[in-house]
Structures are given as C-alpha cells and as structure tokens.
Homo-oligomer: A and B are copies of this chain.
Amino acid sequence: MTAPSTAIDRFHAVIPAGGVGSRLWPLSRAAAPKFLHSLSGSGESLLRDTWQRVAPISGEGRIMVVTGRAHGDAVREQIPELAEANLVLEEEPRDSSAAIGLAAAILVRREPEVIIGSFHADHIVRGVASFGQAVRQAIDAADRGYVVTIGVTPTEPATGFGYIRATGPAPGAPSALLADSFTEKPDLDAALSYLRSGDYLWNAGMFVARADTLLEEMRRSRPQLVAGLEELASAWDGDGRADAVARLWPHLEKIAIDYTVAEPAAAAGRFAVVPGRFTWFDVGDFATIARLGAAGRPNQLVTLGDVEKVLADDASGLVINSSGRVVAVVGLDDVVVVDTPDALLVTRTEHAQRVKQVVDRLKSTRPEVL
C-alpha cells in the first residue's frame, strides 16, 4: 500500500535533443549538434545544463532523453546517470510531435497517471528557483487536465520568438492563465504592442501535460500518427522494438507539436500558460551567445572552449576555441571567431544570422564539414 501520489510524484521530464543549429556552424554539426556543446558558460553542455535544471524537480530516474541514434553514445557519455530505459533513440528525425508523442506513449504504458514535461535540450535558463516554481505550477495545472506551457515574461520587443496570448485565469487551475493563441516571430510594431499590453508571453517550447491528455489532444487531429506512436510504444519495452521501428518509423508524420497539440488545445480552451520570471535564451546564433556571456558589460570579449589558448588584444565579441589551437585576435570589435578542427568561421555579431547562408553554400561544396 502506498499513499496516493501527488502530481509532482507522477511527473516525468522529457528532453527532446534534436536540431542541428545551422546558425551555430562550425561548432554545431550534424554529428555534434548544439545541445552537446558547452555554450552557456557553465562549463557543461547545454544538454547537461538542461538535465541538471530538471533533475531537482523530477528526480534523476525520471528524465527521458529523446535523440537521434547517432547521438546515443554522446548522450550516454554526457549523462552517465541516465538509465537506458530513459534513452529513446530515434531512427531518423520526425519532428517534435513524434519525439514527444512517443515519449508520452512509452511513459503512459509504464505509468498510466504520468504527467510529462518537455524541455528543449538547447535552451539556456538563468534563475533555477523561478524555473522550478513555474514547472511545479504547470504540473498542478496539467494535473487538472490542461495542456500547459511555461511562457517567459518578455523583457524586450523580440522579433525572433513566438508569442502566446494569455486571456485570463484558467478555470480550476489557480497557478495558470488560459491562453488562446500563438504568434510566430512578429514584426517590431506587433512585438512592441505585445510588450506594452502585458498579455503576451514568449513561447519557450516547454510543454507540461498528463501523457494521456497530450496523446488525446494529438489524436483529435492526427489519429494515424498517434496510432503509430502507440503501436511503437507497445513494442518498445519488449522483444518487438526493432521490428516495430522498422515497420512504423518511416511513416510517422513529421510535424511540430505546436500544430498537433498546442494550437488545437488553445483554440478549444484546454491550453494554459504559466508565466515564468526566469531568464531564458534560445541559443540560436553566435550573437546570442556573445550577448549572454557579456551579461550587459560593454566591449566584452566572451571566450569559450580552450580559453587558455585565446590571446586577445583590444577585441570584443565572441571567440570559441574548440580546436585547441592558439587563437590570437587583435583590434576587432564585435567579432565572432569560431575555431574547430576542420573549419573556421570569422564574422561579426551583427551578421550572426548569415551563418545559415554559409551552411547552405557548403551543402553543395563542402558537405564534409557540416
């Protein structure tokens, strides 16, 4: 006989670890995507940062990592605490509905009342206490039947993020607000009006829900996808996994969970948002990493990697030394130098977004360094 478990005891974290991050080339590669790299200044990889952020909430035994087969060994190495049963290796990437949906389907078979929370492996959060509080509030709202997201309180009219509109209290869930709509990357005027209104939160892609609720929501619009995920899950913990993967994986629909769960739930009044007051970064490009490392100090040179071998004189910006070579930077402002064993990028923070175009050009000429 055990005492009736509280919602937090039934919580299981899920970390989908995917996405190459092509604007972080040449650091981030198909073979070593950004979540495996140390970019936050913690000295740990983004993946391990994420693990350490959620472990105090869920416990180490209740964190599942979903990643590509190619990254399995790197994940095991970075997180030796991860139980093999909590490592889900994808045959090939099928986007977030499949990744999170499969985790939900596996976990709900193991534990029908499970509440899952999904957290990207490549985001940076500062303010762990506030983060933990927001997750606990989201778990409470999820236990009451909502699909819940944690929205980040905007601090500037960012045009690179998605926004969630909160409309008022979520009935029956005192810690959450009802959310009714999403906006992807608004223009500056819209972002300014969102910031002024106070009703909008940044969409940090953190979803919390009962696993059965989440699958039910997804099933409404994607019955075939959920059927495939449930069939996979039913074979997952037995002998038939390999056969099921071979048979089903290639046919799973590739679609983001925003479209299969978040937006339909929001439109139907089943979607809640918990405002988080922590600092959050989607580490999308080198300018973000430079800004993050500078932490508001002007004319700062942020160095990552083998910093002992970086020699800077009158320079600001970002130097990432992941080649172990001596890197000397003299007389350059807002420079970005990313040095890896087989490729070097030199640019300025203002051109951080153009790195993607470099990657596009390399696809045809030098695919071996992507």
A351 within 8 A of B: yes
What number of copies of this chain does the assembly contain? 2
A330 to B347, CA, bound (A): 5
Asked if A369 contacts B331 (CB within 8 A), the reply is no
Chain A interface size range: 35 or more
A313 within 8 A of B: yes
Which residues on B sit within 8 Å (CB–CB) of A343?
A: 325-328
Asked if A26 contacts B326 (CB within 8 A), the reply is yes
**Which one of B309, B323, B335, B344 contacts A326 once the chains associate, using CB atoms below 8 Å?**
B344
Nearest Cβ on chain B to A358's Cβ, whole angstroms: 5
A346 to B319, CA, bound (A): 10
Nearest Cβ on chain B to A46's Cβ, whole angstroms: 23
**Which one of B26, B313, B323, B350 contacts A328 once the chains associate, using CB atoms below 8 Å?**
B26
Contacts A311-B362, A311-B365, A362-B311: A328 and B344 contacting too (C-beta < 8 A)?
yes
A354 within 8 A of B: yes
A341 to B358, CA, bound (A): 22
A326 to B344, CA, bound (A): 6
A342 within 8 A of B: yes
Contacts A326-B26, A357-B313, A369-B326: A331 and B347 contacting too (C-beta < 8 A)?
yes
A304 to B326, CA, bound (A): 20
Contacts A326-B26, A344-B339: A361 and B331 contacting too (C-beta < 8 A)?
no
Nearest Cβ on chain B to A195's Cβ, whole angstroms: 29
Which residues on B sit within 8 Å (CB–CB) of A362?
A: 311, 326, 328
Contacts A346-B346, A351-B331: A326 and B357 contacting too (C-beta < 8 A)?
no
Q: Which of A328, A335, A348 has the most CB of B within 10 A?
A: A328
A55 within 8 A of B: no
A256 within 8 A of B: no
Residues of A within 8 A of B (CB): 26, 309, 311, 313-314, 323, 325-332, 335, 337, 339, 341-348, 350-351, 354-355, 357-358, 361-362, 365-366, 369
